[in-house]
Amino acid sequence: MTSTMTDQQDTRQRDFHRNHQEKQCALVGMASDVGLSALKIITGIFGHSTAILADGIHSISDTVTDALVYAMVRLSGKGVDQRYRYGRGKYETLAAFLISIILVVVAVGLMTGAVGDVWTALNGGTLERPHNIALIVGIIAVAVKEGLYHYTRIKGHQTGSAALKAYAWHHRADALSTAATLLGVAGAMFLGERWRVLDPLAAIAVSVLILVLAYRMGRPAVEELLEVSLPQNEQDTISAIVKGTPGVKAFHNLRTRRNGSLSVVDMHIKVDGNLSVSESHDITRAIEQQLSNALGEVMTNIHVEPYHGHNNCEKNGNDTTQ
């Protein structure tokens, strides 16, 4: 009983720490994006840079994303209760999925505008030369966003938060987008009028990159929402741990899935039918501890059955229902 209470306290403490880090990252990102949005828009208007102005409008969507992430991590941090017996980890996954959708929308919007500018340039239109301040603001924006990417990525790996990992890539996508805009601005300023088409061409290239990043974020989120099994290497690790645990004669019905930062593992194990309930429980506890050491946060549901030794599945210890 004391061990169980200690484990529950440790889990709550880890959940509280992770959620605190998630909310902190979301607030830092929100404050930064609000400041960058205002700075870019003002610079775009008075610095005669449509590229920086568009990037500033793009940054407004970042504040919406920041608010979304903050709301999701607050919800996910409420933990387990009577209604959410598996916790609220799926809110993190939903946040990652929604961020990927936002990135797709933004990328398509940027690409559409950039293609229009290229068409204008190809048909003899003139793209306006931006002011020097646009270059300075672009450099500042890239530095801030790249810094936020590294800060959020580190926090995401430390806490195992899917939302923060996706959020970090969102910052990286913003940094790349602004960097492309910056290259276009620099080309328009220093290479002459006919080279101003570099701005929309770079924006098209970055839009494609953002779409790739959105796919990288969205695919695992969709798989988790659809409760796809854990990666095969993790399933192999689970199998090896169970087979190597003293007292386990065989196992089957292994089912796995992800719930936010939590790995959920269900299985049936077979033990000597003469063991006491306490001895069987000790075996399940040993499995749970090893899984936790190997996979991080794990929620297990282990059903214990008597081993009769006459079934091929039992003898081989194979999970025929994976």
For position 37, which CATH number holds? Answer: 1.20.1510.10
- The pLDDT assigned to 137 comes to 85
Q: In terms of domains, do 18 and 66 share one?
A: yes
Domain that holds residue 67: 2-225
Q: Considering the domain boundaries, does residue 180 fall inside one?
A: yes
Determine the Cα angle at 184 with ends 30 and 53, to 5°.
45
Q: In terms of domains, do 200 and 237 share one?
A: no
Nearest alpha carbon to residue 64 among 23, 90, 26: 26
- The pLDDT assigned to 19 comes to 65
Domain-ending residue, one of 169, 191, 225: 225
From first to last of its 322 residues, the chain has per-residue pLDDT tens of 444 445 555 555 666 666 677 777 778 877 888 888 888 888 877 876 766 776 776 676 667 666 766 666 666 556 565 665 565 667 777 777 887 888 788 778 878 877 887 787 777 776 666 677 878 888 898 899 899 899 888 888 877 777 777 778 878 888 887 887 787 778 777 776 677 677 777 777 777 877 887 888 788 888 777 777 888 888 888 999 999 899 899 999 899 888 766 788 899 999 998 888 898 899 999 998 888 888 877 888 889 999 876 554 444 444 443 3
Domain-ending residue, one of 225, 241, 272: 225
Q: In terms of domains, do 236 and 214 share one?
A: no
Domain-ending residue, one of 182, 199, 225: 225
Q: Considering the domain boundaries, does residue 186 fall inside one?
A: yes
Q: In three state form, how does the secondary structure of 8-43 look?
A: HHHHHHHHHHHHHHHHHHHHHHHHHHHHHHHHHHHH
Q: In terms of domains, do 221 and 239 share one?
A: no
Residue type, 163: A
- The pLDDT assigned to 5 comes to 46
Number of domains composing the chain? 2
Give the burial class of 96: count Cβ atoms within 10 A of its Cβ; 0-12 exposed, 13-18 middle, 19 or more buried. Answer: buried
Q: In terms of domains, do 197 and 296 share one?
A: no
**H or E element, residue 300:** strand 298-307
Q: Considering the domain boundaries, does residue 213 fall inside one?
A: yes
Residue 117 and residue 135: Cα distance in Å, rounded? Answer: 19
For position 246, which CATH number holds? Answer: 3.30.70.1350
Residue 267 and residue 242: Cα distance in Å, rounded? Answer: 10
Q: Pairing state of beta strands 262-272 and 250-259?
A: antiparallel
Q: In terms of domains, do 302 and 213 share one?
A: no
Q: Considering the domain boundaries, does residue 123 fall inside one?
A: yes
Q: In terms of domains, do 110 and 246 share one?
A: no
Do the Cβ atoms of 200 and 110 come closer than 8 Å?
Answer: no
Q: In terms of domains, do 259 and 209 share one?
A: no
Residue 251 and residue 231: Cα distance in Å, rounded? Answer: 19
Q: In terms of domains, do 152 and 279 share one?
A: no
Q: Pairing state of beta strands 250-259 and 298-307?
A: unpaired
Q: In terms of domains, do 112 and 200 share one?
A: yes
Structure pTM? Answer: 0.59
Sequence-distant (≥ 6) Cβ neighbours of residue 315 within 8 angstroms:
250, 309
Q: Considering the domain boundaries, does residue 10 fall inside one?
A: yes
Region of 309 please: left (phi>0), alpha (psi -120 to 50) or beta. Answer: left
Residue 71 and residue 77: Cα distance in Å, rounded? Answer: 10
Sequence-distant (≥ 6) Cβ neighbours of residue 288 within 8 angstroms:
298, 300, 302
Q: Considering the domain boundaries, does residue 72 fall inside one?
A: yes
Q: In terms of domains, do 88 and 207 share one?
A: yes
Q: Considering the domain boundaries, does residue 321 fall inside one?
A: no
- The pLDDT assigned to 65 comes to 66
Q: Considering the domain boundaries, does residue 322 fall inside one?
A: no
Q: In terms of domains, do 9 and 72 share one?
A: yes
Q: Torsions phi, psi of 263, nearest 5?
A: -95, 125
Per-residue buried b or exposed e for 275-314, using 16+ beta carbons within 10 Å of the residue's own CB: beeeebeebbeebbebbbeebebbbbebebbebeeeeeeb
Give the three-class secondary structure for 266: strand
Q: Give the number of other Cβ atoms within 10 Å of residue 116's Cβ.
A: 11
